[in-house]
Structures are given as structure tokens and as C-alpha cells.
Structure 1
Amino acid sequence: MEVPASPVASVNSASHTRSEIHYVDLLAERRQTSDLRWAVRNWKSRGNYKYGTPMSRKEIFDRVMHSDRVVYTVNQLVKEGCDEKKLVTEVDEILEQMGHTQELSIIRQFAFVLPKVMKRIYGKVWINEDGIEKLRTTLTETPVILLPTHRSYADFLLVSYIAYHFNLPLPVIAAGMDFMSMAVIGEKLRGSGAFYIRRSFMDNPLYWAVFQEYVQTIVERTGTPLEFFLEGTRSRSGKSLPPKIGLLGCVSESWLRGRLPDVAIVPISISYERTLEEKLYAYELLGIPKPPESTSGLLKAARILKENYGDIFIHVGDAVSVRGFLGPRVDRHLSAAIPSHLAPLTKGELCACESLGYHMLRRIQQGAVTSIWSVMCIRLLQTLSTGQWSLPYDTLVQDTSWLVRILTKIGAVIATEGEVEESVERSLSIHHDVARKGEDGRVHIQKLHFQPPAAKQPTSKKILFGEDTVRPAVTSLVLQYYVNQAIHHLVRPALVAVALTSLHTTGPPTVETLKSRFEFLRVLFGYDFIFETNAEGRDFMEGLSVLTWAGAASLVQDHVHLIQGGGHLFTTLLHLLAPFTLTYAATARTLALQEWADNGKLVVAVQRNVESYLNQGVGQYSALSLDSIRHAIRALVKIGGATRTASNGESAELRGERQHLNTVLEALNEPPLSPVLRHKL
């Protein structure tokens, strides 16, 4: 059968070289043959770990129950006064709630249903076949951890479907409790390999012990690939979230404590041309009542089967060796004489695991395919920020073509079919509810917000903003969601641009001065964007080199000069970060107003502050995003812009430190705080 040609161009860049990548469409064969016959075929995995031992659910439970770690934890709790029988019963209950099964009959059901749904709503599901064969080889040699991106509920069984399609070992999947509570589906997911864990349990030593032993038994004994989402939850903003290192540290411990010679971690980048939950995410980020459909209702709604959600791109990256990454960063000999169940990860080991988490997220970003729509949204959002709801079609095509050339030179992989204009036309047809080409030759951005019926609004919530704010904000956040899928390619030159703008008022800065300001901004935005540990110098040079080869800046006698105001690229980069700089500036000013005992009230106050800027004509409505506001608060606390204080037995309050906050505002090229009296609310 002829395989459809991949729409992804090859990329060669100064920073790294990727030879031509061949993608195949997983649905091509499914459109020509029987789904039922394919699902019930004689299936056998090829690529099982050569030292793995298959274990039943009961065998896994028995091993966990009688493990040194769980026995020791139970004994310690008994010494503290707990009842042993109740503790043993609790372990049984945890395992029953947590434990997975892998029933081929259930997996076949999903193998039959999933292609039928995907063929209705997606055009093609592209995957790099060479990555699959590399993964198969790795699976036979060492235990494997699969780390896919998490942007949609559609991610959950996609990796399992790929494994079934290519006859790879089926993964065991870490899932949150919210999946388990779904009627019927919860047990079906368990039967396909999902095991359920609580969202938070670090303060429960017994649950933590059972969890660790369960995960490590899967990895160390069975050799079954383990899949989990490094970010912990779906990203509502389209950007990568900071890594959660609980599971990553747990699997790394198997090597750190010498129980495995190595563990391989495989990044899997999943890129959706159109995300099922795009509008729902916009409402969630505003913190206003959701439209009548919930997320589960969205996935059940028959109307999605009538929509075109474009293509999915899946890139299976090269495996990263835990031994190779952590080896130079830790000293395993320090805990060699201690029984492994009595040797929790040290602070240094946890820091090394966090570095590994950031490294894996960068690998996932580098493997992601960027859609033309994401590039178009950069220009569409820039237009909306000026208060305009349309722009000439020819301008959109011209600017998209220019940005594609820039991104390709930087090292991005852009999904194009034919000429850029053809891809723009196709994207407008897929995203017709967001932007449409009119008969007047202009592209019209659509107003996506509608007023939900009052009777259906939750009584515990109310809309915080007026319609004049909500209407452009919903559309802006949908556009921002897709901009954020490409922003990691441009954030380094954009931060250099912001740093250069804030310093250039006093003349061209030296390279060292510019680098210092860049590093400060890099820390400040460290929760909103992914930066690898100890890579400040590399990131700075990467960002500065983009500005120099693009002709926006030049180096003259160790000073960095803007060339004619920086030009089109420089302006675009500043616009790209404008919503984030507004959010952080508004957060700094809000923190300076008073002492905050309630974090929720602080977040709402920041949104109100941002809205006041919007009412003055600033068009960056995506600055209202709750994600960025929470990240800004965390970042300002981290750098000393705010401190937590407690007095007279009261709960801790957050107090802004004006000197540090003014430093932040200066770096953002914002006016300093005005002298006002602080008050307490």
C-alpha cells in the first residue's frame, strides 16, 4: 500500500541538524481495511524487555505488600500507635484502588473504537516510523519510561494505540483519580493498563511507600514500559508546564540505588492542529463559569464528530539514559551502605532529577511539530491586540511566510502541505470558527464568547468581568493557546529583545550587562517557559545570535546596538511577550498595595489590575490568564519580590518588597512603583 507523503519539511539549523524526517499516517490503512478485523487480529508484541518477568495483578500486589519498604513503614506507624490490622487493610485498599490490569479483550475494544472516532474528526495521524523502530530496540535492552505531552484528554490512549498498531509492548499508564470516577470508562481504562493515583499524597507515608513499590515493581521486575505525563496535568495554556518530579524521581531511584543498570526515558511529542478543548481552556484560564458543556460532556458530544480537527503529529524522540544524565550530577556511593528502602532521595539527587525533568521537557519541545495555524496566530493575536478584528488576507499570508522562514532557520519543524498560502487556506477552513476569510479579501477574527443562560451558571461563581472584557479575552486566549505551541522557539531571542529594550535607554549595553539582564528575566519567567538548568549562557547566545543574523542588532566593540529600532522581527518578539510582561508588571504592582493573607483574593486582584490596563486601551487580553498570574506570584516570591510573614498567631501573609518589585519593573521596561501607603485588607 502506498504511504501518503509527509507534509513536514526537513530542517537544518546552526544549533542542531535534523535530517529529513519521514512520517507515516496511522489512519491510512484504517481507511482501507476493516477496523474489526484489524482489532481482533493475532496480536503479539515485539520488543519485550529481555530480562523482564511477566507478573499477574496478584503477584504484583503480593510483592508490594511484603516489600521491605511497606513492611518497614507499617512497623514504624505501629510504633507511633496505629493499629497494625487497620494498616494492612489500608494497604490492601490502596492496591485495589490503584492496581491496573491489561486485558487484551478490552485493549481490542479500544483498538476497534478509537480508529473510528479518529477517522471522523482527524485528517491524518502522522508518526515518525524511525522513532518507533529505535524505541523497539531500546525496549528490549532496558526498562523504558514513556513521556508524552499532555494537551488533551485525547492523549491518554494515543500511546497505547500506537503500541498496538506497531506490535510494541503495551504500556502501564499512571492516571489521576478523576479518570477512575468516570462511569464504565474508568474500569475500561484500568483494563487497558491504567493505574490510578491520588493527586497529592506526600503527607501520607503509607500511601507513598505503596506507590513507590508499585511503580518500581513494574519498572524493575516486569520490564513493562511505564507511561506518565511529566507535567502532571493537561496544559490549558498550550505551553509546557514545569515538571512534576515525584514519578520521575521514583523511577530514577531504581538506578540511583543500584537496582537497575540503567533506565531509558523516551520523549513523545504530540501536536494537535486543533485541540478538542480549545474554548473550554479559555474559560478556565479566565476563571469564569464554564459554558454548559463540561470536559467529559465535550468528549461525549456528538457534534464533535461533525467537526474537522485537522491532523495530529507524533514524534517519538531518541531515548535519554538516566545513568548518562544523572551519573555526572550525583554521587551514588553516599548511600551505598544504607538499605535502599531506608535511603530516600537526597536534596542533591532531587535537584538532579528536576534537571532531568527540564531536560526531558526541552527534548519534547524540540521534537514537536509546529502547525501553520500556530504561526498564523502570532499575527492574528498581534492584530487583535490593536483592537482590530480583521486584517488583509494577503498580509496574513505574507507575514506567515516570513515567520515560517524565521522559525525554520531557528530549527523549528513546520507542518506545511504545498506552498504556505495553501496551508493558510487549509488552516482557515479547519479553524473557521476562530478566523474566516471574507469576500472582502480580509480575514475576520470571530467573537467566540456567548453569554451562558443564567440558570445554568454555578451559584458559587459569578463572572468577574464585563462583556466588553470577556468577549475579546476568550478569543485572545484561544489564539494565545496556539501561539504558545510555537513560543518556545522564539522565547530566548524575545527575552534578549526585552532586556535590550530596558537597557538601551542609557545607550548600547555591553554584552555582559545584557547577559545579566537576560539571566534575570530568564529566572523571572522560569515558571512560564522551560529553561534547562545551568544553560543560561547557551540560551543567551542562542537568543542574541537570532537578533544578529536577522539584522535586528549588531555587536560593536563589545556593545550591542539596535539597528534601526530592531526592525520587524524585534517588534514581533516584543509583541510575543507583551501579555506576559503585562501580567508580571500588574502582579508586582498589586503585591505592593497591601499584605495578602488570601492567595485567591490576590489572584483576583491581579486580574482586576490587568483589566484596568485593558480599559485604558492596552489590548493584551490574554494577560488575564490565571496560569500566568499564578506563575508570576510564584516567581516574585522566588526572587524576593514578596515574602511570607506571620505574626500574633495569624496565618502567613504575602508582603511585597518594593525594592525588589521595582527591579522587576525596570527589567520589564515599566515605570517604577509610585509612593503609596501600604494598607492591610
Structure 2
Amino acid sequence: MTKTSSKSEKIESTGFMNKFSGISDLFSGMNLFDNFKEMEEIVLSYHKLNSRIKGKPEEKDKVLKNLKEIRAELSIPFLKTFEKFLDASLSQLYDGINFNDNGHNLAELSKRNNLVLVPNHQSHADYVAINYVYYKKYQSPLFVAGGNNLNIFPIGPLFRKSGCFFIRRTFANDILYKLTLEAYLHYMLVKGNPIEFFFEGGRSRTGKLLPPRYGLYQMLIEAHAAIPKDKRRPLQFVPVSIVHEYVPEQKSLARELDGGKKVKESAGQLLGLVKLLSYQFGNVHINLGNPVIAPDAPTDPVKLKIQTQKLAFECFLEVGKNMRVTPTSLLAMILLDESTGALKWEEILTKARHIITYCEKFHVPITDSIKLENLEKSLERSIDILIGNKKVEVIGNTSSQHVFYSIKDDSRKEILYFKNTILHHFLVPWIVHMGWVNLFSGHITNVEDLKKFFINQRKQLTHEFYLPTVKEILNLTLDIVSDAIGREVTTLEECVDLTHKELYLILAKVGIFSRACNYLLEAYYICGLTLKDLSANDYKEGFKMETFLKRYKDVFESEKKLRRIIKYAESYSVPLSKSSLEYFIHAKIVESKAGFYTVGDHDKLAEVLAKVESDLQGQLSINLLN
């Protein structure tokens, strides 16, 4: 089948804006709950805060001012009216918001536990999507922590009346504010209100999950511990994975990757929403993970810190495990990995079927829409969206079979966002492919070489993803090898003794993933060349980050024109250049001191450069199913 244009009509902005103007009606005639006396009493009685402000009326006034700045001002009548507005409006922007509770009834859980939802964060639309679905399903409000950057008219009042409470982006030096926030969380837990906060601390700019921020985790643990034991319910965190098939802000996020400054949210930005009305956003997928009960809080601060970090990462891993492969992320991986830049529709379908077969066999979560029986229809809709949103172009004569699909050059970094949301699921088959290329070529000759290879690859990717353990990687490797050759392989020693025919079978099985992480390798190669250039010329005594980033971009542009090693435009971004530099620092090749960087081990730098170049060329030398 040949796809040429979007089947779905563009959204008419006038009709939607008539509904959008109805927001003003939401602010009139509502009986808001404005008796905050009980809230103030509980907040002011919180032991850590009370001991600080006792006998200090001016401090108490500051606390009450902070509380007013923070607190939600929930109105159930308002929420019901807002629900009707969203019922009418969201269906014009989205194909659907799909919620999978995986057997966890949040309404029932909240009766027995202090419930805290911890989602990842891709878009400002997350606030609306999760809270809307929660209210529709359970007819109960959800109290979400939002950054005070969103506390602008009309979004701020709307969110606050829907159950959002606002938090300053930074408050490390304001102990009174911190204690007020912790006391407010204590109040919420005492009242049994379900809470939600985005554990990454902000939206992901790259699509990759960001490491968890610990602040709210620890505040909740301490606030919960202050509830009398006979009245205390278990503190239960529910990991939530949210994936958008199209992110409204992705163009501005891509600009930030190139070094553009984040534009501060303002009321004026809302006018930009009109432009988005011509876009299609597909589906939003919300997936619940297994709930995690927080252990009782230890009194020792060091033990509390360790426990908090362990809890946060347990939730983080559960979110990552449940990030579903969607039609858009699947297309993104297929189209971006094609180094020639264009594919026929049948080629796209063939690759998609291989990837989905792998997912089903090795328990990678996928949306129902891309199960094999639904795959083609869903990919058609997804390519429609990308064409309609001017991210993919159709090349060739539409009246013949010579039609190709290619991501536009200036949209590759935008589309990379969606690939990055699922890339962690496919790191092991990519590593396996690279390892078996090295086995086949004779660069790896014994089991020790193979073990060292896996350990080194994991070390390199650690700066991009939170990875499985070496043991988990090796176990999945053995499962992949066994599946490919049709017999059970239980040790790495057996892998080294495989025949050439068996090596080919393995390469054929994982060949579809052979380029999945190549843009990352290219970034590390560029970083190595940049360090070599800086240390050999004007900056032998050291250089600042600003100098490094500028030279990195220059080296990338030069190497990209040569097209000898560098094939992908997305191998340049500011976050990627910084994370690749971190790898060289942790490898003790680069030294960092007082804001200056110096190359300390030139021999090791040359060794790493040669290895990365060899790996990239090796990946290109065997072309099976890719």
C-alpha cells in the first residue's frame, strides 16, 4: 500500500477556539471551597514547622503567605464543568487517551493507602491527560504538584481549581518555604488525598527518561512518618508511564537541544496554541506499573537518604519497563535508523513486523494498536499524522510503486524524541549485534574478550540510560542467541564456539537493531575528535565548557560533510555532547577542575577513538535486515 497524504482533515481552529473561549465561563458562578482554617491548623501544627515558628509571629505570617502560594483550591463543581469542556475539546485534538491500569484499581488502593502517582513527564499536556482520565474513571480528584512556571493566567487559576498545587522551581536556601511545603504534604496525607508529582522534576527534552529527583520523595516520606501510628496508612507510590504519539512542544524542545534557551512560560505563549490546532496529536497512552510501598522512615539521615534513593529508582525502573512502543515511536526508529534517509512502505512494514515479533517474544510492552493483526492500519494513521504535521515527506511518483518516505532533515531531532522513549528496550539486541560482528570478524576470540566487551558497552551507555545490570544483559543475550539458532545456549563460553552459520543466524535475527544506537556512538566519536583537536592546539592547558561545545559543533559539521563515519544529523545536540564528555571524564581520559577540562591520557583517548570508529564501520559492513 502506498501512503501519500493525511486521510484525516486538519482541525479547524475557529470551532475549537469557540470552545476555548468557554474557559472564561469556568471562572464565573462557582462556589469555591474557601474555608482553609483546618488546612492552616494542620500545617501550622506540623512538628518541624511548629518548632521553627513558635513565638515568631512574623515567621507565621510568612508560612501562611507561602501556603497561599502553594495550595490547591479545589472546586468539585468547577472540576465537573472543566470535565465537560475537555470532553468536547480533547476529541478534536487527540485520537484518544488510552488508560491501562494493569489490574490496579486506584480508587480501591486509595481507600487503604496514602496514594502517590509518580509519572514521567513529556508535555505540559500530561497534567490534563492524567488528571482527566483519573477523574473520568474514578470520579475523584487528583492533587498534582505543578511548577510555579505554570501559575500564569488563565492556566494557573484553572489548574489550581482542578487540584493543582504549585511549587517553586528552586527553594534550597529558603528553609521556611521547604518546611511549609512539607507541612502541606503532611496535610494532604492526613486528609487521604491522592497526590501526583512528576519524578523527573521537569519535562524530558530528549525523550529519554531523566533520573529521579529525590526532594518530594523524601518530603512525603517524612511527612507521612509524622502521622500518628494508629492513624497512619501505608504510603504507596504508583509508577505511571505516559507516552504521547505527538508532543505539542516538540519543536521548541528540539531547539533547546541545539543550544537554544528555554522560553519562559507566559500568557502570551498561549496565543501560540492557535498554531497547534492545525496539528494532529494521535493518541496518549497511560500505563500503570506495579505499586511500591515505602518502608517506614529511618531516623538516621544517611539511612533515610539511601532509602529515598532506592525507592525513587525502583519507581523509575518500573516506569521505564512500562513505556510502551507506539506506532509513532516504531516509525521513528525505523525511519531514523535508515542511513540512506528513505524507505518504501513495504520496507517499513517488513521492518515493523520484525520489531513487533521481537517485542512479543521478549516481553517489550507495545500498544494494542501495533499488535501484528492491527499493525498496518495503525502505521498508516501514524504516517498520516507525520505527513500532515510536515515532519515526513513523500518522495517519488505517487502513481507508480516508486514512492519513498523520509523524515525531513530539519525534523530529525524532533522525531528522535519518540525513538528515544523506547530505545532502552532495544539496547541489548544492539549490543548483541555489535558483539557478534566482532566475533565474526575475529576481534573477539575468547570468552574474556566477550565479557569485557559487554562491560565496556554498558559503561559507555550508562551516561545515556539507566541500564540493566551486567547479569541481566548477559541473561537476555543468551535468550536472544538461543532463539536465533534454535537451541538452548546457557553460557558465554558456548557463544564463542558458535559456527559461522550460527553467527549469521544471530546477526540476521538482531540485524534490524544494528543502527539503533549508532547516533550515540557517532556523538562519542565526535567528542573524542574534539578533545584530540583541543588538546593538540590552543588549549593544552585546559578549556571551558563553552569552548568545548563550540568546537564540538564545528567538528560535527566538518565530519558530517565528509560522510565517512558520521551519518546522522541527530548525533549533534548540546545534551549529547555533554553526556559524551562525562563518559571521557569517568573513563579518566579527561580531568575536570574548577570549570576547566584537560585531556590527561592521550593514549587512552586514541584507543577509544579507534575502537568507536572500528565499531561504527563494523556495523555498516554487515547489512542484514536493515
Normalised-by-shorter TM-score class: 0.7 to 0.9
Structure 2 residue runs without a partner (length 5+): 1-18, 27-32, 616-626
- Asked if 1:599 corresponds to 2:576, the answer is no
Give the CA deviation at 1:159.
2.1
RMSD: 3.6
Query: Counterparts in 2 of 1:302-341, with a 5 A limit?
Result: 302-323=274-295, 335=299
- Asked if 1:612 corresponds to 2:581, the answer is no
Task: From the two aligned structures, give the one with the greater helix fraction.
Answer: 2
- Asked if 1:382 corresponds to 2:382, the answer is no
2:198 to 229, 233, 239: 229
**Shift in alpha-carbon separation, 1:546–1:68, aligned structure 2, 3 A:** same
Whichever residue aligns with residue 61 of structure 1, its letter is E
Q: What SS class does the counterpart of residue 206 from structure 2 fall into?
A: coil
CA distance in 1: counterparts of 2:219 and 2:447, whole angstroms: 42
CA distance in 2: counterparts of 1:597 and 1:73, whole angstroms: 46
Q: What SS class does the counterpart of residue 301 from structure 1 fall into?
A: helix
**Shift in alpha-carbon separation, 1:245–1:393, aligned structure 2, 3 A:** same
- Asked if 1:110 corresponds to 2:82, the answer is yes
1:422 to 367, 373, 377: 377
**Shift in alpha-carbon separation, 1:199–1:501, aligned structure 2, 3 A:** farther
**Shift in alpha-carbon separation, 1:56–1:382, aligned structure 2, 3 A:** same
2:471 to 537, 550, 554: 537
Deviation per CA, 1:122-178, whole angstroms, max 9, x where unpaired? 1222222664x6222211111011012211111012222122212343121111121
- Asked if 1:200 corresponds to 2:170, the answer is yes
- Asked if 1:363 corresponds to 2:332, the answer is no
Query: 1:487 aligns to what?
Result: 423
CA distance in 1: counterparts of 2:34 and 2:109, whole angstroms: 21
Give the CA deviation at 1:101.
1.5
CA distance in 2: counterparts of 1:55 and 1:184, whole angstroms: 19
Query: Counterparts in 2 of 1:102-251, with a 5 A limit?
Result: 102-128=74-100, 131=103, 134-180=105-151, 182-219=152-189, 221-251=190-220
CA distance in 2: counterparts of 1:201 and 1:596, whole angstroms: 34
Deviation per CA, 1:326-385, whole angstroms, max 9, x where unpaired? x8xxxx66x3xxxxxxx6x31x432343233232222223323321232222221122x3
**Shift in alpha-carbon separation, 1:196–1:588, aligned structure 2, 3 A:** farther
CA distance in 2: counterparts of 1:297 and 1:425, whole angstroms: 32
CA distance in 1: counterparts of 2:166 and 2:542, whole angstroms: 36
CA distance in 1: counterparts of 2:267 and 2:479, whole angstroms: 43
CA distance in 2: counterparts of 1:124 and 1:528, whole angstroms: 31
Q: What SS class does the counterpart of residue 166 from structure 2 fall into?
A: strand
Query: Is 1:175–1:228's contact at 8 Å kept on the other side of the alignment?
Result: yes
Query: 2:344 aligns to what?
Result: 392
Query: Counterparts in 2 of 1:253-652, with a 5 A limit?
Result: 253-254=222-223, 260=232, 262-288=234-260, 297=269, 300-323=272-295, 335=299, 345-346=301-302, 348-383=303-338, 385-386=339-340, 388=341, 390-415=342-367, 416=369, 418-432=373-387, 433-437=390-394, 439=398, 440-441=400-401, 442-447=403-408, 472=409, 474-498=410-434, 507-511=443-447, 513-531=449-467, 535-551=469-485, 557-560=493-496, 563-564=503-504, 567-591=507-531, 593=534, 594=539, 598-617=544-563, 618-646=566-594, 652=595
Give the CA deviation at 1:287.
2.1
Query: Is 1:377–1:483's contact at 8 Å kept on the other side of the alignment?
Result: yes
Query: 2:599 aligns to what?
Result: 656
Give the CA deviation at 1:614.
1.2
Give the CA deviation at 1:506.
5.3
**Shift in alpha-carbon separation, 1:236–1:545, aligned structure 2, 3 A:** same
**Shift in alpha-carbon separation, 1:551–1:86, aligned structure 2, 3 A:** farther
Give the CA deviation at 1:626.
2.2
Q: What SS class does the counterpart of residue 431 from structure 1 fall into?
A: helix
Query: Is 2:74–2:162's contact at 8 Å kept on the other side of the alignment?
Result: yes
Identity among equivalent pairs (%): 21
**Shift in alpha-carbon separation, 1:529–1:57, aligned structure 2, 3 A:** farther
Q: What SS class does the counterpart of residue 234 from structure 2 fall into?
A: coil
Give the CA deviation at 1:422.
2.4
**Shift in alpha-carbon separation, 1:354–1:600, aligned structure 2, 3 A:** farther
Deviation per CA, 1:69-103, whole angstroms, max 9, x where unpaired? 1244458xx9xxxxx56544433332222222211
How many residue pairs get matched? 561
Query: Is 1:378–1:483's contact at 8 Å kept on the other side of the alignment?
Result: yes
CA distance in 2: counterparts of 1:350 and 1:400, whole angstroms: 44
Deviation per CA, 1:233-278, whole angstroms, max 9, x where unpaired? 1112222111111112222335678864531111222222222223
TM-score, normalised to structure 2, is 0.79
Q: What SS class does the counterpart of residue 248 from structure 1 fall into?
A: helix
CA distance in 2: counterparts of 1:509 and 1:93, whole angstroms: 69
Deviation per CA, 1:191-249, whole angstroms, max 9, x where unpaired? 21111112222233333222222223322x11111100011111122221111111122
CA distance in 1: counterparts of 2:224 and 2:475, whole angstroms: 34
Query: Is 2:130–2:286's contact at 8 Å kept on the other side of the alignment?
Result: no
**Shift in alpha-carbon separation, 1:489–1:663, aligned structure 2, 3 A:** same
CA distance in 2: counterparts of 1:299 and 1:548, whole angstroms: 56
CA distance in 1: counterparts of 2:362 and 2:466, whole angstroms: 17
Deviation per CA, 1:455-487, whole angstroms, max 9, x where unpaired? xxxxxxxxxxxxxxxxx2x32212312211221
CA distance in 2: counterparts of 1:551 and 1:287, whole angstroms: 46
Query: 1:69 aligns to what?
Result: 48
Query: Is 2:146–2:164's contact at 8 Å kept on the other side of the alignment?
Result: yes
Query: Is 2:153–2:267's contact at 8 Å kept on the other side of the alignment?
Result: no
